[in-house]
Copies of this chain bind each other. A is one copy, B any other.
């Protein structure tokens, strides 16, 4: 379904970076959910990142809700969210529009859309299109919270610098969700910011890893085989631009463990069935087991850099040198964190509504 994700709670994206507007239609939302505009705006603000290490394109990201919300609550009908594009400097792109930016979608968009794509600022492939995802999730996340389901992520690694691991997940998430630069160890965060600035000063960029935890999920959520929790989450997370990997629980490291070390033994503690370890990241056979769902997402360094790069001219096929001029981010990891939270919320809410029905998120 191309730009639509979700079975019973679905999001449909639209928009180009330098077009009239970007947006999303969120369908299947339980009626009666309170829409907290301040919360949505806070999430959008976090997505914009902090000035010193983010693009100088400063969109207001004022969202307008065209439908599906009445007297402050969701109606149950599709919610169309629109964000106007204002601060577009399309001429930044016109000079170099035929020069495919390495590791961007310029070339592949040309291949797919045969020259009819809106090339300005990455067009439909721009990371900017994640803003409506975040706004849509801004409606769903508080509803999940009221059901006791809490999602939180931190920048586990940036520019090679590691944050500390989750310890007390609930307390850690609580601390994280207010932060502009979401690390558990602020000292490490400062080091990361310095590294980003350093990359920026060199016309370069850096990447990182976001680690996400979800607590409070009921057990028994997810579907066998293709609509497994990990299958659905990975599908959603790879929709976020710049993602190159995802791992659940111990992830790639589990490949080096033995079964006896890796297995999460069950135990009954005070009439609650839990596992002693959580190497599986809260998922067995694609279904939640009641432990926190944990996964890590790898982000590449931003492909747009100020350094000169070899490339080809899409129209002529000739080799060329690209010297980018647009405004860009030396790092997107801290901005991407809230996008990962958002797709996680949407994907999980869809699975919950599939299992428990369309009214499940009722307040």
A114 and B74 CA atoms in complex are apart in Å by: 11
> Is A23's CB under 8 angstroms from B258's CB?
no
Asked whether A2 lies within 8 Å of B28 as measured between CB atoms, the reply is yes
* Contact segment of A38-46, A170-178, A182-190, A227-235: A227-235
Q: Is A27 an interface residue (CB 8 A)?
A: yes
Contact A305 B260 (CB under 8 A): yes
Question: Do A3 and B16 contact each other (CB < 8 Å), given the known contacts A129-B225, A241-B285, A247-B252?
Answer: no
Using an 8 Å CB-CB cutoff, how does the interface string of A60-92 with B read, 1 for contact, 0 for none?
000011111010011111111010000000000
The residue that A25 contacts in the complex, of B12, B299, B309, with Cβ under 8 A, is B12
Which of B103, B114, B206, B355 meets A32, CB within 8 Å?
B114
Known: A76-B112, A288-B108. A246 touches B234 (CB 8 A): yes
The segment from A134-142, A144-152, A274-282 that touches chain B is: A274-282
CB pair A303–B224 under 8 Å, yes or no, is no
Task: Output the least CB separation between A69 and chain B (Å).
Answer: 8
Chain B residue at minimal CB-CB distance from A124: B77
Partner of A239, one of B226, B237, B247, B254: B226
Task: Indicate if the CB atoms of B312 and A267 lie closer than 8 Å.
Answer: yes
Residue count of chain A within 8 Å CB distance of chain B: 152
A109 to B77, alpha carbons, bound, how many Å?
10
> CB within 8 A of A284: which of B64, B68, B104?
B104
**B22 adjacent to A284 (CB under 8 Å):** no
Q: How far is the CB of A265 from chain B (nearest CB, A)?
A: 4
Known: A129-B225, A220-B111, A230-B243. A27 touches B2 (CB 8 A): yes
Residues of B within 8 A of A73 (CB): 116
**Contact partner, A12, options B78, B111, B298, Cβ 8 Å:** B78
Residues of chain B within 8 A (CB-CB) of A118 are 70, 75, 77
